[in-house]
Chains A and B, each alone.
Chain A
Amino acid sequence: MAETIQLEVTRYSPEHDAAPTFQRFEVPYRKDWVVLDALNYIKDKLDGSLSYRWSCRMGICGSCGMMVNGEPKLTCATFLSSYAPDAVRVEPLRYFPVVRDLVVEMTDFMVKLQKVKPWIIRKEEKSIADGEYLQTPQQLDVYKQFSMCINCMLCYAACPVYGLDPLFTGPAAIALAQRYNIDSRDQGAKERMDILSQHEGIWACTFVGECTEVCPKHVDPAGAIQQYKLTAAKEWFKSLLMPWGAK
């Protein structure tokens, strides 16, 4: 008899259930299997109605974020062997409304992302014929880590502030705003500042730092938020001292 492992998976259908429940499945245990492989086994062989998102299976598309034993994880990069022989509990990402089983509603993030204007803003566009904007490797390094965000939502599921206040712009969107602010080609920091310095922007963050802890791509959203707070405070202070001179 081959070895097996138990999975406890959240089940919820808005059409039939008043509240989420857990369902236990027994799946083969293989040491090179990730949690996502176990979910796929369930869907293929045991119960085709289990719903969850996944795509690339290599930690880059950002689809398969779930709570694994209470922690936000990419299930394609979380091995069963980290939990065996104990059961593994798989739940939808925390703090998001649940659509069905392990699928959460992420429209809120999509709206917030667009709001922080995550694109290059310039007063004047250079023409393509004039070639590239020069950017040294050092200038690239300034913003590079913030550009690594895969929008997997693990940081939102880890953020206690987002849990209490859904209006909070949240770690990933702020990190991506900052990614453009500090890109040497961008001139839009002021525009983004006006959006982000509102209450639900950066001030809400109490610097818990959980977002940075859980990021599977080593982005440091907590650092972005701190950088932002500092810049915003300086701008505010300048505007008090020199109301005629502040940009």
Chain B
Amino acid sequence: MSDRFETHQHDVLIVGGGGAGLRAAIAVCEANPKLSVAVISKVYPMRSHTVSAEGGAAGVIKPGDSLDEHAYDTISGGDWLCDQDAVEAFVKEAPEELLRLEHWGCPWSREPDGHIAVRAFGGMKKMRTWFAADKTGFHMLHTLFQTSLKYDTVIRYDEWFVTKLLVDDGRVQGAVAIELMSGKIQAITANAIILCTGGCGRVFPFTTNANIKNGDGMALAYRAGAPLKDMEFVQYHPTGLPFTGILITEAARSEGGYMLNKDGYRYLQDYNLGKPQPKPVLRSMELGPRDRLSQAFVMEMEKGRTIKGPYGDVVHLDLRHLGEKLISTKLPFVRELCLKYQNIDPIKELIPVRPVVHYMMGGVHTDINGATPLPGLYAAGEVACVSINGANRLGSNSLPELLVFGARVGRAAAEFASKHTTPSAAILAQAMDESRRLRKQLLEKTGGGERIATIRDEMQKAIENGAGIYRTGTSLVETVTKLRELQQRYRNTVLDDRGLTFNTELIAAMELGFMLDAAEAIVQCALHRTESRGAHQRTDFPKRDDEKFLAHSLVYRNADGSSRVEYLPVKITRWPPGERVYGEPSQTKDAQAGR
């Protein structure tokens, strides 16, 4: 690494340039145009994983729908682990934020008369999901990125990688980062830091998540002393293409697609999700929530009714009856992906699919404004856990989440940053230490000899075995032990690449370190939660236990690197815990209205 050590100073530093990060950047500019705001991202912002979101963004806009119904769907979908004050703020602000994006140019799909069009989505009782064909995340991200270009006060550090947060005097005051192009290690100080780095799907072997989703922000916060929340809740999306893990959007089912087992039977009817109808029925069958559909797959497999494939068992997603016109206009990307990557035309053929790790309900613990318990540190988007997603996120809630909480966190951080100034001298000393550590532990290290890919593969296998769709205490304990071994071996990682210029192996090594921490948090939370709720299913504790676990898990890192799990009660405002019912109209109007 270069001997020169430079520092940069900003009022607000945003780590991550995806949907949440860019929305936050604009919010800071609008809240206080005098503040200097920096966006640091390990990829160019338009490469961020928001780009891959397909189906849509929920926000109440049509007559006959109501904020309370969106709130109820979200809370029941989350198996009552959502904080209801956060959900109420979320459903109220989602339509405003989606409209703002419309004003910024997002090419939302439209009704014939020019109004915003909406589609059905899993677990939603009303049609309220805005969409831009089936490339919603792509269009949202590019709209946000292009709009952000008009704000001159946003300074971008594109292709910079943050290695550590700098904390002194009980407050986050900066970060150490590597500029990929030059290999220079630099310090960036800021009065407030917002983490918007997304999830950690790459901890698992089979995921829809991009290569960049390594839990960077989760591990940065965790190491800096902030707790992670509800990390045991990992969303498996029921329809991923085998081998590649490419997502086939839920919109394929909301437009009327069927899930079929090896006998061509719509097997979801056997899992308390309603009776099959030719046309899609809201909150029923294929439009049930993702956790229940992924669990149904496993049970179907155990009955031997799935189809054997070269990459494990699959079921079929059938879109053939929808016809070429609907598929080409509403699901063009689904067709493109199937043709290109699976050599299958969904107009004529069945699509093989299986559950695939898709989203982390958990993340850095924040309040309703994105503030973490560590002063100066904020988080929004998938990296954060507010929590509006509880034990299972509903499809099309994550895109509005990153807008609503991106905007909120931007305003909150701007206010905090206006009141605090001048980083302490101790911060720079810490930055120098970190720079030395990177050199010594990674770039100049010889001997040892573990390859990054070997440890990564073993980690992925271990976590899938221990903390997959169904978990048991025994399998979780095995995974804890294995992860401990891998943490040890990780210290013996040796790089092939000793160069300074664009050293992607160095980045991969640090990402692996982050993933090992995220994996530890997932497994510890899963081990301690001895109940089944939403996406967390313990075969040794198959029932939901509101007495003990109507509470968020908070996992802290101890000084010696071990972890401890504590609990924080869920905030209930108007919807007391109830039964999750799908496929039947038995939820009373009172329950939905929150009375």
Contact indicator A57/B244 (Cβ below 8 Å): yes
Q: How far is the CB of A66 from chain B (nearest CB, A)?
A: 14
Chain A minimum-CB-distance residue to B105: A120
**Chain B contacts of A14 at CB under 8 A?**
501
* Contact flag A55-B501 (CB < 8 Å), given A45-B453, A60-B51, A147-B142: no
**Chain A contacts of B52 at CB under 8 A?**
56, 58, 60-61
Contact indicator A58/B337 (Cβ below 8 Å): yes
Beta-carbon contacts of A126-166 to B below 8 Å, as 1s and 0s? 10100111111101100110011111000000000000000
Is A204 interfacial (CB-CB < 8 Å)?
A: no
Is A62 interfacial (CB-CB < 8 Å)?
A: yes
Is A220 interfacial (CB-CB < 8 Å)?
A: no
**Chain B contacts of A57 at CB under 8 A?**
210-211, 244, 246
**Chain A contacts of B375 at CB under 8 A?**
none
Within 8 A of A (CB), among B478-504: 495-497, 499-504
Contact indicator A119/B149 (Cβ below 8 Å): yes
CA distance A46 to B285 in the complex (A): 47
Q: How far is the CB of B351 from chain A (nearest CB, A)?
A: 15
- B150 contact from A58, A119, A132, A136, Cβ within 8 A: A119
Is A223 interfacial (CB-CB < 8 Å)?
A: no
Is B341 interfacial (CB-CB < 8 Å)?
A: yes
**Chain B contacts of A197 at CB under 8 A?**
none
Is A106 interfacial (CB-CB < 8 Å)?
A: yes
Contact indicator B501/A126 (Cβ below 8 Å): no
Within 8 A of A (CB), among B85-133: 96, 99-100, 102-105, 107-110, 112-116
Is A168 interfacial (CB-CB < 8 Å)?
A: no
Is B47 interfacial (CB-CB < 8 Å)?
A: yes
Of residues A16, A103, A139, which shows the largest number of chain B Cβ atoms within 10 Å of its Cβ? Answer: A103
Within 8 A of A (CB), among B242-271: 243-244, 246-247
Chain B minimum-CB-distance residue to A74: B340
- B51 contact from A56, A125, A148, A149, Cβ within 8 A: A56
Is B591 interfacial (CB-CB < 8 Å)?
A: no
Chain A minimum-CB-distance residue to B243: A32
- The number of chain B residues with a CB under 8 A from chain A is 60
Is A238 interfacial (CB-CB < 8 Å)?
A: no
Is A24 interfacial (CB-CB < 8 Å)?
A: no
Contact indicator A49/B496 (Cβ below 8 Å): yes
CA distance A144 to B109 in the complex (A): 10
Contact indicator A100/B496 (Cβ below 8 Å): no
Chain A minimum-CB-distance residue to B142: A147
* Contact flag A99-B110 (CB < 8 Å), given A47-B496, A147-B142: no
Q: How far is the CB of B359 from chain A (nearest CB, A)?
A: 15
- A128 contact from B103, B114, B158, B504, Cβ within 8 A: B103
Contact indicator A62/B103 (Cβ below 8 Å): no
**Chain A contacts of B243 at CB under 8 A?**
32
Contact indicator B501/A134 (Cβ below 8 Å): no
Contact indicator A62/B246 (Cβ below 8 Å): no
Contact indicator B105/A180 (Cβ below 8 Å): yes
Chain A minimum-CB-distance residue to B454: A44
Is B222 interfacial (CB-CB < 8 Å)?
A: no
Q: How far is the CB of A106 from chain B (nearest CB, A)?
A: 7
Is A59 interfacial (CB-CB < 8 Å)?
A: yes
**Chain A contacts of B223 at CB under 8 A?**
none
Contact indicator B149/A114 (Cβ below 8 Å): yes
Beta-carbon contacts of A163-196 to B below 8 Å, as 1s and 0s? 0000000000000100010010110000000000
Contact indicator A49/B499 (Cβ below 8 Å): yes
Of residues B138, B247, B508, which shows the largest number of chain A Cβ atoms within 10 Å of its Cβ? Answer: B138
Is B146 interfacial (CB-CB < 8 Å)?
A: yes
**Chain A contacts of B508 at CB under 8 A?**
48
Contact indicator A55/B340 (Cβ below 8 Å): no
- B210 contact from A61, A106, A113, A128, Cβ within 8 A: A61
Chain A minimum-CB-distance residue to B342: A32
Chain A minimum-CB-distance residue to B242: A32
Can you spell out 10 A-B residue pairs with CB atoms less than 8 angstroms apart? A43-B453, A43-B505, A51-B502, A53-B43, A99-B502, A117-B150, A118-B146, A132-B116, A147-B139, A149-B142
Q: Which residues of B contact A (CB under 8 A)?
A: 43-44, 46-49, 51-52, 96, 99-100, 102-105, 107-110, 112-116, 135, 138-139, 142, 146-147, 149-150, 158, 181, 210-212, 243-244, 246-247, 333, 336-337, 340-341, 451-453, 495-497, 499-505, 508
8 pairs of A and B residues whose beta carbons are closest in the complex: A134-B114, A44-B453, A49-B497, A48-B496, A100-B502, A118-B146, A120-B105, A55-B210
Q: Which residues of A contact B (CB under 8 A)?
A: 13-16, 32, 43-45, 47-49, 51-63, 77, 99-101, 103, 105-106, 110, 113-114, 117-120, 125-126, 128, 131-137, 139-140, 143-144, 147-151, 176, 180, 183, 185-186
